[in-house]
């Protein structure tokens, strides 16, 4: 959800638009690249082990099924209530867990840059760290930089460092989580739309406070300050560190510095998962058409319509949805559930285009199932 300060269309909103779209595009292409790499490894394993087909390359990828899609909004609601009622009790644990996850996610975000930097200097051999595993020089460099950034964020609490960590979380979640079909996508996004609308618009009638906004904007005690008080290190040790605004959102200051624009990472990740799904389907369909010697689409659909990709259509819908949410927050001058606008503007154009192209039945259930074993695309 957007914060109460998210009411003016200025440079902060423009920054939010651009960064969220770049994160979705980058995360989607990282996800697609991971699919290609995993399939290449599976082909190498198959050729080395005969008919054995290992699945170890897919262990890090989580596919959401229908049951998980239905219960995810319920789990999110329970977590929101825990944070609302018991924030003072769990804030330190939640801050530490968030920092650890943000460290790993930001290391993943930095990994391509570190691979580019270390490639001319050292071979890509993995270095063993005993029970911790084996890592390349690029992985060690990206992790070290990520740890350094998290430590600086804990010491300073600067919004720009928090944004960097939130960006890493967005990209990692889009890259490592999969929606297997349009059916699961509709279940997940529809449930989260109801979740977002209820906790932004109706929670105040039950809890006498906007639960979503309060949890999203409430700062947490700095773990260094808590540690100094627990260990009785003295009145001046750890007391200068600021309270932390947790990286569950992107914030950008306005040009005047009078307010911040805010967008929750859920409003980026959840539509981003849909965009990642349609990008994979676009590439799957392109490969299938090339394998079938460029078979044309349905005769009642123009060639221009066939050339429009689902990814571009959905991405434009996401931008229009963000713009509509901004205009609505300006008109009502109150917090708006962004998914109320993002879900219809992404799902409805996608469903319409899939119906017109004749792909709706295929995309609805098992769209990546292929009888051909030579396909370059994974079955996910």
List residues with catalytic annotation. 196, 267
Q: What is the number of alpha carbons within 13 Å of residue 122 lying toward its C-beta?
A: 14
**C-beta neighbour count of 129 within 10 angstroms:** 10
Cα separation values, 163 from 15, 108, 149, 153, 367, Å = 12, 15, 11, 10, 35
Whether the Cβ atoms of residue 181 and residue 360 lie closer than 8 Å to each other? no
Interatomic CA distance for residues 262 and 250, integer angstroms: 6
The length of the chain is 380
Interatomic CA distance for residues 114 and 118, integer angstroms: 6
Tokens of 231: 């260990």
Whether the Cβ atoms of residue 176 and residue 360 lie closer than 8 Å to each other? no
What is the per-residue DSSP string for 114-164? Answer: HHHHHTTTS--PPEE-GGG-EE-HHHHHHHHHHHHHHHHHHHH--HHHHHH
Interatomic CA distance for residues 284 and 369, integer angstroms: 10
**C-beta neighbour count of 314 within 10 angstroms:** 23
Render the burial of 324-357: b for 16+ CB within 10 Å, e for the rest.
bbbebbeeeeebbbbbbbbbbbbbebbbebbebb
Residues facing 244 on adjacent strands: 220
Q: Tokens 């490969």 correspond to what residue?
A: 287
**C-beta neighbour count of 127 within 10 angstroms:** 12
């Amino acid at each position: 959800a957007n914060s109460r300060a998210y009411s003016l269309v200025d440079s902060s909103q423009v920054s939010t638009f651009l960064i969220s779209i770049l994160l979705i595009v980058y995360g989607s292409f990282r996800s697609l690249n991971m699919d290609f790499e995993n399939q290449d490894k599976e082909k190498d394993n198959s050729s080395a082990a005969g008919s054995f087909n290992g699945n170890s390359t897919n262990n890090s990828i989580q596919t959401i099924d229908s049951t998980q899609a239905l219960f995810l909004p319920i789990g999110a609601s329970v977590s929101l209530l825990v944070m609302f009622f018991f924030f003072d009790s769990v804030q330190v644990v939640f801050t530490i867990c968030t920092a650890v996850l943000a460290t790993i996610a930001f290391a993943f975000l930095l990994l391509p840059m570190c691979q580019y930097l270390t490639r001319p200097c050292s071979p890509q051999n993995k270095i063993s760290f005993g029970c911790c595993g084996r890592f390349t020089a690029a992985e060690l460099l990206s992790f070290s930089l990520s740890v350094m950034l998290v430590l600086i964020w804990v010491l300073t609490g600067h919004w720009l460092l928090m944004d960097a960590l939130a960006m890493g979380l967005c990209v990692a979640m889009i890259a490592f989580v999969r929606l297997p079909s349009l059916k699961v996508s509709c279940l997940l996004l529809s449930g989260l739309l109801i979740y977002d609308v209820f906790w932004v618009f109706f929670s105040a009638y039950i809890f006498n406070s906007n639960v979503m906004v309060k949890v999203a904007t409430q700062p947490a005690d700095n773990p260094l300050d808590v540690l100094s008080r627990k260990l009785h290190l003295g009145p001046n040790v750890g007391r200068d560190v600021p309270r932390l605004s947790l990286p569950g959102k992107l914030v950008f200051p306005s040009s005047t510095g009078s307010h911040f624009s805010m967008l929750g990472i859920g409003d980026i990740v959840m539509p981003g998962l849909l965009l990642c799904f349609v990008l994979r389907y676009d590439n799957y369909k392109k490969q299938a058409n090339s394998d079938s010697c460029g078979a044309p689409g349905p005769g009642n659909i123009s060639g221009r319509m066939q050339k429009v990709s689902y990814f571009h259509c959905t991405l434009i819908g996401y931008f229009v949805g963000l713009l509509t949410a901004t205009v609505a927050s300006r008109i009502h001058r109150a917090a708006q559930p962004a998914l109320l606008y993002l879900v219809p503007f992404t799902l409805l154009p996608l469903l319409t285009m899939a119906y017109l192209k004749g792909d709706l039945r295929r995309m609805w259930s098992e769209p990546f199932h292929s009888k051909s074993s030579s396909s370059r695309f994974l079955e996910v």
